[in-house]
Amino acid sequence: MFEAGEKIICINDTFEALHRKIYRELPKKGTVYTVRECSLGRLKTGATNPGVSYRILLEEIFNDLDPYMEEEMAEELGFRSDRFAPVIGIEEQDQVKNTEAIGVNY
């Protein structure tokens, strides 16, 4: 998955009303961020059977502790990793598109 210090870009900034209430700040689509931490997280806040995903914390955004976790286990609210893509992958795609547009072949 992602590593601390890695540059990533937000590709999905569609959040439910609940998220807009409990987060101080949310990432914005098209904005580049720096990974502060990547760990296991959960898929659905407050769900009965929440599942598991990767949780991303960003250098540029700090949020409160997850209100749905037991106080002694509470962690900062993070974001699902599938909301982001590596910046290098996006840059490579743009470079290929630009070269195709001017007729350069590799």
Q: If DSSP states are collapsed to H, E and C, what string results for 30-97? A: CCEEEEEEEEEECCCCCCCCCCCEEEEEECCECCCECCCCCHHHCCECCEEHHHEEEHHHHHHHHHHH
Q: Is 86 a member of any domain?
A: yes
Residue 89: give the domain boundaries. 7-101
Q: How many domains does the chain have?
A: 1
Q: Is the entire prediction scored with pTM above 0.85?
A: no
Q: How many CA atoms lie within 13 A of 31 on its CB side?
A: 12
> What pLDDT is stored for residue 21 in this prediction?
94
Q: Is 2 a member of any domain?
A: no
Q: Is 51 a member of any domain?
A: yes
Segment 23-67, tens digit of pLDDT: 999 999 999 999 999 998 766 655 555 566 799 999 999 999 988
Q: Is 106 a member of any domain?
A: no
